[in-house]
């Protein structure tokens, strides 16, 4: 693999340090020629991010920021980049001096100094905890929306209703398959009633999704019943898919489906 080497220009140490201290991100410089690739320089922004004064960390390897939740996979990426003398960007769960966890976006660069004929590593570190928290909240909202879009209504110990509303595309069907299969596995449901009264457009995606769901439930030992198809769309459904071959039961309403189930069990 080709090494990614960046060459510095000839500037004074005083100017170099002053510029780095003006950088909003934390900066550390390490010397891979010394044992354990220790820190030889930090700026004031890094002190604020980590909570460690420079005098306490000079001579240490950057691993002191790691803790219980730090991803070993991401750390391995950094280790490999150092070994291959190339740049890398990772996001790590690191820890401040007081034990507070923060998300550290680390950008690592190999810097070659011609006047010294020597390679250093410069790590630019940003606290991205706020962004990661926002991403987690967004993921939570999406999960909540998914749960609301595919609500399970238990009727008895072995019968569950799934009322669907809105449009159902391929992505939503995948979510439905995943949630229903997990629900059947966890709760040992025997009959699933899918009510389509809130679905106005019974297109190819809906028909193919019903067939796929029926096959999935059949493999898991459960039965699919479909209710709520309006007369105006039932005719189109016959032309799009032959449900009879797949032994899917259809009822006009959930109430009729429940009455049909009770009649079969008596």
- pLDDT means per 10 residues, the chain with 266 residues, are 50 54 79 93 91 93 94 96 95 96 94 88 92 76 56 78 77 81 77 80 77 86 83 54 66 85 76
Return the pLDDT at 163: 82
Asked if 125 and 196 sit in the same domain, the reply is no
Q: How far is CA 4 from CA 67, 74, 80, 119, 137, in A?
A: 29, 19, 13, 11, 37
Q: What's the CATH number where 86 sits?
A: 3.30.450.20
Angstrom distance (rounded) from CA 31 to CA 53:
19
Angstrom distance (rounded) from CA 226 to CA 213:
11
Q: Which of 67, 102, 133 is the last residue of a domain?
A: 133
Residue 92 CA, distance from chain mean position: 15
Q: Which of 106, 133, 160 is the last residue of a domain?
A: 133
**Reduced DSSP (H G I as helix, E B as strand, rest coil) percent helix, strand, coil of the chain, to 5:** 45, 25, 30
Return the pLDDT at 123: 93
Q: What's the CATH number where 209 sits?
A: 3.30.750.24
Return the pLDDT at 232: 56
């Amino acid at each position: 693999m080709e090494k990614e080497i960046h060459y510095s220009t000839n500037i004074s140490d005083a100017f170099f340090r002053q510029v780095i201290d003006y950088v909003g991100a934390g900066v550390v410089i390490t010397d891979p020629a010394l044992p354990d690739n220790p820190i030889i320089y930090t700026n004031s922004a890094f002190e604020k991010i980590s909570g460690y004064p420079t005098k306490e960390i000079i001579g240490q390897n950057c691993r002191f920021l790691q803790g219980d939740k730090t991803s070993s996979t991401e750390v391995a990426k950094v280790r490999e980049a150092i070994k291959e003398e190339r740049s890398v960007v990772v996001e790590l769960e690191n820890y401040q001096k007081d034990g507070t966890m923060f998300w550290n976006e680390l950008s690592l660069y190999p810097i070659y100094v011609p006047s010294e004929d020597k390679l250093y590593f410069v790590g630019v570190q940003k606290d991205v905890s706020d962004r990661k928290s926002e991403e987690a909240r967004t993921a939570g909202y999406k999960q909540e929306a998914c749960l609301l879009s595919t609500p399970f209504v238990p009727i008895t110990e072995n019968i569950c209703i799934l009322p669907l509303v809105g449009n159902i595309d391929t992505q939503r069907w995948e979510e439905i398959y995943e949630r229903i299969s997990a629900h059947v596995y966890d709760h040992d449901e025997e009959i699933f009633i899918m009510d389509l009264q809130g679905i106005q457009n019974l297109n190819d995606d809906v028909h193919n999704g019903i067939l796929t769901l029926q096959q999935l439930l059949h493999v898991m030992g459960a039965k699919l019943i479909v209710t709520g198809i309006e007369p105006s769309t039932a005719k189109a459904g016959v032309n799009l898919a032959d449900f009879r071959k797949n032994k899917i039961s259809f009822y006009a309403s959930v109430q009729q489906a429940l009455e049909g189930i009770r009649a079969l069990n008596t």
